[in-house]
């Protein structure tokens, strides 16, 4: 486990694979016990939650967008995408705009 590659992931770079790992690990959402805080290279305080694959430990930055996306997760929404496609996970704010335009 100590030889894992470590990756910090922002919502904009979230892939279907990592999103599914998050939802599987935190099916009822995450809480303060799950949050890891650290300072990045620029000295900014970052809060993230951790998920792990065979070879990689992901620290996914916490945001309101991440929470909404996890709450509304449906695996079927990502069937047409590769697991590592960072364009597959859509900004939930953009989806709301699309829904309003259809009304």
CA distance 67 to 92: 10
pLDDT tens digits, 38-68: 998 899 999 999 999 999 999 999 988 888 8
pLDDT at 16 over 80: yes
Alpha helices in the chain (DSSP H): 16-25, 64-71, 92-102
Domain ranges of the chain: 5-95
Res 94 pLDDT > 90: no
Distance (Å, rounded) from C-alpha 56 to C-alpha 100? 38
Residue 76 pLDDT: 87
Give CA–CA dist 90/39, Å, rounded.
27
- 37 backbone dihedrals φ, ψ, rounded to 5°: -110, 140
Place 35 in a pLDDT band, splitting at 50, 70 and 90.
very high
């Amino acid at each position: 486990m100590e030889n894992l590659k470590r990756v910090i992931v922002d919502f904009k770079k979230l892939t279907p694979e990592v999103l599914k790992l998050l939802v599987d690990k935190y099916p009822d959402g995450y809480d303060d016990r799950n949050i890891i805080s650290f300072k990045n290279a620029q000295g900014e305080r970052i809060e993230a939650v951790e998920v792990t694959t065979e070879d990689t430990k992901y620290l996914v930055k916490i945001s309101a967008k991440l929470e909404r996306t996890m709450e509304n997760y449906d695996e079927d929404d990502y069937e047409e995408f590769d697991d590592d496609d960072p364009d597959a996970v859509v900004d939930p704010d953009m989806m709301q705009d699309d829904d309003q335009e259809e009304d």
